[in-house]
Amino acid sequence: MRFELTDEQTGFAEAITDLMRAADAVAVARAWASGEYAPGQDLWKRLADLGLTALVAPEEDGGLGGTLVDLVVAFEVLGHELAVGPWIESAALAPQVDGAMVTAAAPPLSPYAADAQVARLLSGTPGALHQSIDSTRTLTEVSDAEVLDEEALDRAVLACAAQLLGAGERVLADSVTYVQQRKQFGRAIGSYQAIKHQLADVRIALDFVRPLVHGAALGEVPVSAAKVAAADGAYRAARTGLQVHGAIGYTAEFDLSLWLNRIRALVTAWGTPAYHRGRVLESLVG
Amino acid sequence: MNLDLSPDELAFQEEVRAWLAANVPAEPLPSMDTAEGFVAHQAWEAKLAEARLAVVSWPRELGGRDASLVEWVIFEEEYYRAGAPGRVSQNGIFLLAPIVFDHGTPEQQARFLPSMGSGEKVWAQAWSEPEAGSDLASLRSTATRDEERGGWVLNGQKTWSSRATYAHWGFGLFRSDPSAQRHHGLTYFLFPLDAPGITVRPIAQLDGEAGFAELFFDDVFVPDSDVLGAPGDGWRVAMSTAGNERGLSLRSPGRFCAAADRLVDLWKERGAQAPEVRDRVVDAWIKAQAYRLYTWGTVTRLKDGGEMGAAGSVNKVFWSELDIDLHEAGLDLLGADAELAETRWMDGYVFALSGPIYAGTNEIQRNIVAERILGLPREPKGVQR
């Protein structure tokens, strides 16, 4: 019994974090949102070189043969550092050993293909393109998409959950920093219990999301349980984060907005919380 | 990362499971907060002790099995899954015993631990006072030095003392240095509840039973041999109890996972009549699983030599709210039948309601999480007495 990441896994997470920070992932995301894809494609290539898209592909297919725990470790960082591009599709749903940027629709779970304007659509015919509330994400209608197997879909759901966890952690960290700097009535607002207790509740919620994400990766609980908890935890982080930032948090210019909109998008992506609650219940009552 | 048990751990699990299957009473015992139920629970503890299952993590020579932390979690999981009786000896074996092991003299360990582990002597905690609840360090009960008799004389009042109505011994903090402030000058005392000068006044709880009591101290003599740790060092000694209480030892995942399984069974029975309760059933089950997995993470860190620290506060808020969520969902599924006072769900619910209050209120825990884990500034303190 050992329920903790290995040094190797922690090191892998740090390597991804370092690479993304050095590349100024937030600036890359803003460029991506304005239709300038080159910096994002460049960062994608470097992350793919680290082995991200090949991580859980079997070794006999040229992949790294990593575990689902390795996968969620990577996706938590992608959420934390605001990665852009169809990572769930290219690294979890249909791992690409050559680092290709691919996308797919998987109706009814995931009726749209993300970022199809830059990624290769794995199956079906693309239709109208829509903008997501997450400005770094587009959604393309797809007809005649191929039906994907449950194992692949579960990997996508799990990766989405891990990304939500990472995004929630980031919003919490940035909110804690902000309330220590912002002063009102002569004190840091982070010294008021009304603020502290809300942020403590986010800390507590996220501390209990991570074991579910890791446990789902080990097959201890259904991936749907991890998705429900991660969506709830990250959404709580987003609502609280916005509230403690006040008006500045409600602006597009302030970077917090990128994570708030990302979280809102991922809460319903790859299956709504209601869908996944139903699936958990099904697994319990048979 | 894995959750696999070793062959020894699996064998232990098997033994515990078999023993419980053969010995857990078919009918629930009467409430431990009644005279009759208290004795019945003591008899159950004696039976557990005979099988060396009362205090598995204690050393062999004191009635335990030297069980590892992993084995302790396994034991608890099996215990609650089997629907075994609540532990009347809980305050002693989980809250006081770790302190006696760490701070007690060999003589104290030999004198107090065996009868505590077997349930022969039941211990009650005496922390809160009428004017000292969350702000425990403001306590006013006093201990005055009595050189002649070689001990201390206790005066004052303690309250919300769980199990004290029927228990045999108590433990708590008293101010032994009147000139010292707050956390300083406190001493940790052990005292028989039938000592001359102690008056126990039972207090009926929300469910009408005398689960706790007020204790009045009028010139109660306690010999030096019943002081735990050094005089004046009581706060430091006591805080290891608080960490235990709000952390792992009082709330193993077993009880919540067992309740979650019962909730799913109840859903199978009643869900068709109350489909709107679905999400609450699912969420409570997911949270129970989160708690189980989180605990294995904690066990791993402790095994590696880590400490519980402020994470105990994260834990305490979560389990206390989870306990209420689980039972509320059960009551909602029962519909109008929920009101029937004698159901197991209502019993569990009323008990769960105390969770966010005792062992340090959840507001105090959130302060600790915010200040010690998130690093937010401390609340400016009010005027001190």
- Model pLDDT, residue B244: 55
Phi, psi (5° rounding) for residue A265?
-65, -45
Please report whether residue A126 resides in a domain.
no
* CATH number of the domain bearing residue A270: 1.20.140.10
The domain in which residue A239 lies consists of: 165-285
Three-state SS sequence of chain B: CECCCCHHHHHHHHHHHHHHHHHCCCCCCCCCCCHHHHHHHHHHHHHHHHCCCCCCCCCHHHCCCCCCHHHHHHHHHHHHHCCCCCCCCHHHHHHHHHHHHHHCCHHHHHHHHHHHHCCCCCEEEECCECCECCCHHHCCCEEEEECCCCEEEEEEEEEEEECCCCCCEEEEEEECCCCCCCCCCEEEEEEECCCCCEEEEEECCCCCCCCEEEEEEEEEEEEHHHEECCCCEHHHHHHHHHHHHHCCCCCCHHHHHHHHHHHHHHHHHHHHHCHHHHHHHHHHHHHHHHHHHHHHHHHHHHHCCCCCCCHHHHHHHHHHHHHHHHHHHHHHHHHHHHHCCCCHHHHHHHHHHCCCCCCCCHHHHHHHHHHHHCCCCCCCCCCCC
CB contact under 8 A, A228 and B4: no
Look at residue B379 in the predicted model and tell me its pLDDT.
77
Check CB contact of B242 with chain A, cutoff 8 Å.
no
Q: What is the residue-level pLDDT of chain B in tens, covering all 385 positions?
A: 999 999 999 999 999 999 999 999 999 999 999 999 999 999 999 999 999 999 999 999 999 999 998 999 999 999 999 999 999 999 999 889 999 999 999 999 999 999 999 999 999 999 999 999 989 999 999 999 999 999 999 999 999 999 999 999 999 999 999 999 899 999 999 999 999 999 999 999 998 889 999 999 999 999 999 999 999 999 999 887 555 544 455 578 999 999 999 999 999 999 999 999 999 999 999 999 999 999 999 999 988 888 888 998 999 999 999 999 999 999 999 999 999 877 889 999 999 999 999 988 999 999 999 999 999 999 777 655 4
Report d(CA A164, CA A152) in Å as an integer: 19
Q: Is residue A245 included in any domain, yes or no?
A: yes
Q: Which residues 109-128 of chain A have a CB within 8 Å of chain B?
A: none
CB-based contact B267 A285, cutoff 8 Å: yes
Report the distance separating Cα B169 and Cα B192, nearest Å: 4
Tell me which residues of chain B, numbers 250 to 279, contact chain A at a CB-CB cutoff of 8 Å: 264, 267-268, 271, 278-279
Q: Model ipTM?
A: 0.97
Query: In chain A, which residues have their Cβ closer than 8 Å to the Cβ of B304?
Result: 4
In this structure, what DSSP letter does residue A95 have?
-
Look at chain A and report how many structural domains it folds into.
Answer: 1
Nearest to A134 by CA among A264, A270, A224: A264
**Would residue A196 count as lying in a domain?**
yes
Domain membership of residue A236 (yes or no) is yes
Between positions 338 and 377 of B, the ones with CB within 8 A of A are 363, 365-367, 369-371, 373-377
Among candidate residues B129, B245, B269, B328, the one labeled active-site is: B245
pLDDT-flagged residues of chain A (< 50)? none
pLDDT at B242: 54
> Searching chain A, which residue's CA lies closest to the CA of residue B74?
A1
Whether A225 sits inside 8 A of B289 (CB atoms) is yes
Mind telling me how many Å the CA of A254 is from chain B's nearest CA?
A: 22
Residue B361's pLDDT is 94
Is A51 within a domain?
Answer: no
Q: Is B77 tagged catalytic?
A: no
Is residue A131 one of the residues assigned to a domain?
A: no
Structure tokens at A33: 């949102």
What pLDDT is attached to residue B241?
Answer: 56
Tens digit of each residue's pLDDT (9 = 90 or more) over B296-334: 999 999 888 888 889 989 999 999 999 999 999 999 999
Burial of A254 (0-12, 13-18, 19+ CB in 10 A): middle
What is the amino acid identity at position A29?
Answer: A
- pLDDT for residue B305: 85
d(CA B327, CA B350): 9
8 Å CB contact of B293 and A207:
no
Those of residues 313-332 in B touching chain A at CB distance below 8 A are: 314, 317-318
Q: Domains plus CATH for chain B?
A: 7-88 (no CATH), 123-235 (2.40.110.10), 247-373 (1.20.140.10)
| Min Cα separation B48/chain A (Å) | 27
A to B CB pairs, distance under 8 Å: 147
User: What is the token pair recorded at A196?
Assistant: 């502290």
State the pLDDT at residue B382.
66
Q: Which two tokens stand for residue B333?
A: 């599924």
On whether residue A232 sits in a domain, the answer given is yes
The pLDDT tens digits for A111-138 are 999 999 999 999 999 999 999 999 999 9
pTM for the model: 0.95
Q: Which tens digit of pLDDT belongs to each residue from B259-304?
A: 999 999 999 999 999 999 999 999 999 999 999 999 999 999 988 8
B189 to chain A, closest Cα gap in Å: 34
Flag whether A82 is in a domain.
no
**Contact criterion met (CB < 8 Å) for B3 and A190:** no
Q: Which of B369, B372, B373 to mutate to test the interface with A (most CBs of A within 10 A)?
A: B369
